Structure 1
Amino acid sequence: MKVLLLYSTREGHTKKIIQHIHKELKCSECQIENIHKLKEIDLLKYKKILIGASIHYGHLSKELYDFLEKNYTQLKKIKGAFFCVNLTARKEKQKKDTPEGSTYIKKFLKKSSWEPQLIGVFAGELCYHKYRWFDRIMIKIIMFLTGGITNTSKSVEYTNWKKVSLFAKKFNKLQ
């Protein structure tokens, strides 16, 4: 079965999550693509599709929404799943790592016509050394306001990999 795994990332963590899911799927006919580099693609060649995207300054990328709009007719004909990566999802006790508790997923569902059958929310990575100077300062302010790590010499991976693996199993079962 052909499966398409797409990602939209800025620092690379969403790609790392997609690669983890790919390993969990043990899929011989999986294709991984970066939405930002994808030109044309016939989605109907695939049995199902998974799209992962990261949040930056409260928004998913314009390229993601352009892709969804351009390919909506094909997307609604195949099984699909979506996941969002953000630092707010580190607050699992507040259910910020669930589709119901994620403001980003709520915004996504309002803005996009696509209705994936499976939705996930994963905490990302706080990696100050990867950010440009301005981004580092802004993220430090955001982390201060939200009770996160503000020490710019530290990096923290908040991703719950067990949760990612469970999502991969659910995606694998999509028929």
Structure 2
Amino acid sequence: MSSFLVCYGTGEGQTARIADRIVDALGERGHDATAVDADEVPTDLDVGDYDAVLVGSSIHAGKHQSEVVDFVTANREALAERPTAFFQVSMSSATEEGAAQAAGYVEEFLEDTGWHPDRIAQFGGALRFSEFGFLKRLLVRQVVKRSMPDVDTSEDVEFTDWQAVDDFANDVAAFVEGRLGVAAPDGGASGADGQSE
């Protein structure tokens, strides 16, 4: 069994849901995984206490959460000493047309932090119109109608591919198991069903 830290930054909750899903998938492989919001990192948290670290951040107005950037920058040396992975959540990743923009966000994050994770993934986010204030809801609907005309903006929409999240978690776990020379306690099987919870 290996220990995993999943540190994430979330704007409206979707990245937190993805981090929890990754923790579940790692747990199903028999590993000990803990999710921590970068905005609420305990003062006594030591990256060195974990065998591997995953970091996730959403994109808002073209930027990653500053808390995530600060976490990675402050822990860059410890991250370099263990297997790591980065996952990004954005609306750009929800469409093929946005793929290049999403990749650019990743490159900018890695350049800004000087970090070189072993694995990288990009996931589509969600639009929770029901949770937006009137003005934000109006603005986001206008943007979505221009960029994603087929999307029904009268209800909340989720673009996260949960099977891709499970596959990423299992890929990272297999990489860590190989790098650390440990087998998954249950033989590496994953029971994740790819369904949103």
TM-score, normalised by the number of residues in structure 1: 0.88
Question: CA 1:150 to 1:168, structure 2 compared with 1: closer, same or farther past 3 Å?
Answer: closer
Is 1:114 the equivalent of 2:115?
yes
Q: Which has the larger radius of gyration?
A: 2
CA contact (8 A) 2:92 2:102 kept: no
* Correspondent of 1:62 among 63, 66, 69: 66
Is 1:90 the equivalent of 2:94?
yes
Deviation at 1:133, TM superposition (A): 3.5
Structure with larger RCO (C-alpha < 8 A, sep 6+): 2
Indicate the residue corresponding to 1:163 in structure 2.
164
Indicate the residue corresponding to 2:78 in structure 1.
74
Aligned partners of 1:151, 1:163: CA distance in 2, in Å? Answer: 23
Indicate the residue corresponding to 1:12 in structure 2.
13
Deviation at 1:168, TM superposition (A): 0.8
Residues 141-166 of structure 1: per-residue CA shift (max 9 Å, x gap): 33233225675531111111111111
TM-score, normalised by the number of residues in structure 2: 0.79
Indicate the residue corresponding to 1:29 in structure 2.
32
CA contact (8 A) 2:92 2:98 kept: no
| Structure 1 unmatched ranges of 5 or more | none
Deviation at 1:28, TM superposition (A): 4.5
Aligned partners of 1:148, 1:168: CA distance in 2, in Å? Answer: 32
Indicate the residue corresponding to 1:50 in structure 2.
54
Deviation at 1:103, TM superposition (A): 2.2
Aligned partners of 2:52, 2:153: CA distance in 1, in Å? Answer: 40
Q: Secondary structure at the match of 1:171?
A: helix
Q: Secondary structure at the match of 2:55?
A: strand
Question: CA 1:166 to 1:95, structure 2 compared with 1: closer, same or farther past 3 Å?
Answer: farther
Counterpart AA for 1:16: R
Residues 77-117 of structure 1: per-residue CA shift (max 9 Å, x gap): 1110010001111114x472x8x962211221222211100
Root-mean-square deviation (CA), in Å?
Answer: 2.1
Question: CA 1:148 to 1:122, structure 2 compared with 1: closer, same or farther past 3 Å?
Answer: farther
Question: CA 1:130 to 1:148, structure 2 compared with 1: closer, same or farther past 3 Å?
Answer: farther
CA contact (8 A) 2:126 2:160 kept: yes
CA contact (8 A) 2:56 2:86 kept: yes
| Structure 2 unmatched ranges of 5 or more | 180-197
Query: How many percent identity over aligned positions?
Result: 27
Which piece of structure 1 moves more, 105-114 or 1-10?
A: 105-114
Counterpart AA for 2:125: G
For these two proteins, the number of residue pairs brought into alignment is 172
Aligned partners of 1:39, 1:129: CA distance in 2, in Å? Answer: 32
CA contact (8 A) 2:90 2:102 kept: no
Q: Secondary structure at the match of 1:55?
A: strand
Is 1:129 the equivalent of 2:121?
no
